[in-house]
Amino acid sequence: MSGAARPAHIPVLLHESIDLLSPERGGLFVDCTMGAGGHSMALLQRLPEGAELLCLDRDGRAHEAAQRAPWADDRRVRLVRAAFGDLLEVLGDRCGQVTGLLADLGPSSMQLDEEGRGFSFQRDEPLKMVMDGDQEADAATWLNEVSEAELADVLYQLGEERQARRVAGAIARARPLERTGELAEVICRSLNRWPRPGKKHPATQCFMAIRMAVNDEMGQLDRLMAGLETALAPGGIAGLISFHGLEHRRVRRWVRKVCTDDYGPKELARRQPLVPASFDNLTRRGLRPSPEEVDRNPRSRSAQLRGVRRRG
């Protein structure tokens, strides 16, 4: 739909995530995934004078848009083009000073909807899928060079595609692939399933897996979570919004690990913790969008927010 107006980006779990971080406390806050700035603007509205907001995004187009936005002129705001997995490098000597941090995982609506980015099978366009426009290896490059065995592993592990070997073999035989339409057709033919109104597109899981591999999404998430204890000040709060099963499980396992005292057999008998928990779990089973939010923004349907507070 070239030229058609697209709906504005709607930040997911906006009120829940901002309430979780309690920006009125002041200090240094980090929006790890600035995107269109929805969460950043909401944080700013509740940040007191003297507080700071560091906005990260690896997408150059997001930064170009933010630099033109009035909210980014606020003296409390600093924009940094960086992936959230590099948070500790960005913070430098400010490590251990972050009062609140939010990471809205996965691609933004802007990236999914913008023509020419190659994230979607809904349009036939160059097969790119890169969140960082300066990244040299896009999806076409990766797909045409990766081994069939590694591709099958990615489709199975990141896309949870049960027919991963069959799809990987079909993609390998069809190479070189350069366009989203070509890839979607190869996947559908290999599965012998075709798009039907009201049903999930057969290529959905495979496209997601390829996008995640090209952008190292799980690696970025793992690095972010591993660095949170170093980044946050005592009492500092982190909120992570995940969108699909793989992200949900990764975040849930990490929360369980860092919020639970680790007892060894002997220590358990004496009730002495071997490794004391470093965080408190603030959300238990995770917060989900209300039916009203899902109605306004169907993309929020699968979102889950989990929050932790660093002990200190």
Same domain for 162 and 174? yes
Give this prediction's pTM. 0.90
Average pLDDT, the chain: 91
Say if CB 55 and CB 74 are below 8 A apart. Answer: no
Is 2 inside a domain boundary? no
Q: Which of 214, 229, 264 is the last residue of a domain?
A: 214
- Using DSSP bridges, classify how beta strands 232-242 and 304-310 pair: parallel, antiparallel or unpaired: antiparallel
Q: Look at residue 6 in the predicted model and tell me its pLDDT.
A: 43
Same domain for 100 and 238? yes
Q: Which of 214, 237, 266 is the last residue of a domain?
A: 214
Residue 177 sits in which domain range?
A: 117-214
Count Cβ neighbours within 10 Å for each residue of 28-40 and write b for 16 or more, e otherwise.
bbbbbbbbbbbbb
Which segment of 63-67, 162-166, 261-265 scores lowest on mean pLDDT? Answer: 261-265
Q: By three-state DSSP, how is residue 208 classified? A: helix
Q: Which residue has the tokens 């991963």?
A: 164
Among 304, 164, 168, residue whose Cα is nearest residue 245: 304
Q: By three-state DSSP, how is residue 282 classified? A: coil
Average pLDDT over residues 108-131: 82
Is 3 inside a domain boundary? no
Helix axis angle, 14-21 to 38-46, nearest 10°: 40
Rounded-to-10 torsion of CA 247, 251, 253, 254: 140
Which of 104-113, 128-137, 244-253, 266-275: highest mean pLDDT? Answer: 244-253
Q: What is the pLDDT of residues 285-298, one digit of tens each?
A: 899 999 999 999 99
Q: Which of 182, 214, 246 is the last residue of a domain?
A: 214
Q: What is the pLDDT of residues 126-161, one digit of tens each?
A: 999 988 877 778 999 999 999 999 999 999 999 999
Q: How far apart are alpha carbons 193 and 185 in whole angstroms?
A: 10
Same domain for 185 and 267? no
